[in-house]
Structure 1
Amino acid sequence: MKSNYNYKFYGDLNLYYRHKYITGLLLLIVFIFMPISIIYGIFGFLISFILVISTLIFILNKFNHENNLILFTDEQIIHLKKDFISEIKYEDVRKIERIYQPKGLTIHELKTNNQTFKFNISIKVNTIFPYSSFYELILNKNKNIEIIEIVFCDKHKYFLHHGEVRKIQID
């Protein structure tokens, strides 16, 4: 579905939720799988193992990364959700926050006038890219967008200065 659009960057909106469910599943394994295995032996181990695997398959199928995307094109931002397509103008975006989370997960939070999207940003070809190239695209479309980076206790603000993306530390 995303191949129908000429986009520069895309965001997987399900990654954030999928990560939360898998973390919960790990807790489920520790608190249910292990005691049942110890108490009921090999039979309990097999039943618990089947339950855990089926739950994992359910979670991964429920949050398919192609079902809920946000595409950043030259003209606008496109939100694809299953069969629903909505378009967001760059002028409607108020703020983008990049939040570093534990375990190396980086979440971007895009806030418009009436919606908030949490996603992990990627490009068309799966390669490593500087976030500044994404911010440059956004800032060239709307210079009033506030782009904030939160890394543990530090906060940085990104802005465009003579066509180049700069960042400063803020309180």
Structure 2
Amino acid sequence: MSKLNPKWTRANGLILIFFGAALVLGVGLILIEKKPARPEAQGQAATETDSEQGSSTTMSVNTLPLDDLSVTAITEMSGLTFPTDMTEFLTSRGDTNRQLDLTFVIPSASAATFLADSGLPAPVANKRLVIHSSPLWKVNPPEGSTISSSQGKFGQVKRAVELVGERPGFIRARVVITPT
């Protein structure tokens, strides 16, 4: 029988347990990351035509075609008809092209026309649809602001529009566009 140093054996045992746990964790993370791909979602592109609006949008599944963020390109993709009197037009997209946030200011009198021309229903007062922050806005509008919301689909995109009282006579539109 050989004599082993008990401190040395205990230390090696703890090291062995630590590396074993790290190995199991690493293998687990690799297996979780490699989910089986669904055949219908692999690189598939879809085209849908909205017969009411007469538009056609082509995009990969769960992403938006955001190579061009001009007002014209966003109008073609989303069906939103931007008022000619809008100001402060800004856009923000994430790295994954799964969401486009945009904002602009319009006179209060232009809000109903913007929604109607964009094929959206009349806004619902005191209803929040945009409940996330963005580089373009804070989660909550300034206290005391009026707020109303409308939403709808166009082709392969969902559109959520929140109209927030900006200053007397003006409204800030907060718009979120996502794939259907």
Tell me if TM exceeds 0.5: no
TM-score scaled by structure 1? 0.29
Structure with greater Cα Rg: 2
TM-score scaled by structure 2? 0.28
Greater helix fraction, Structure 1 or Structure 2: 1
Greater strand fraction, Structure 1 or Structure 2: 1
Greater RCO structure (CA 8 Å; 6+ sep): 1
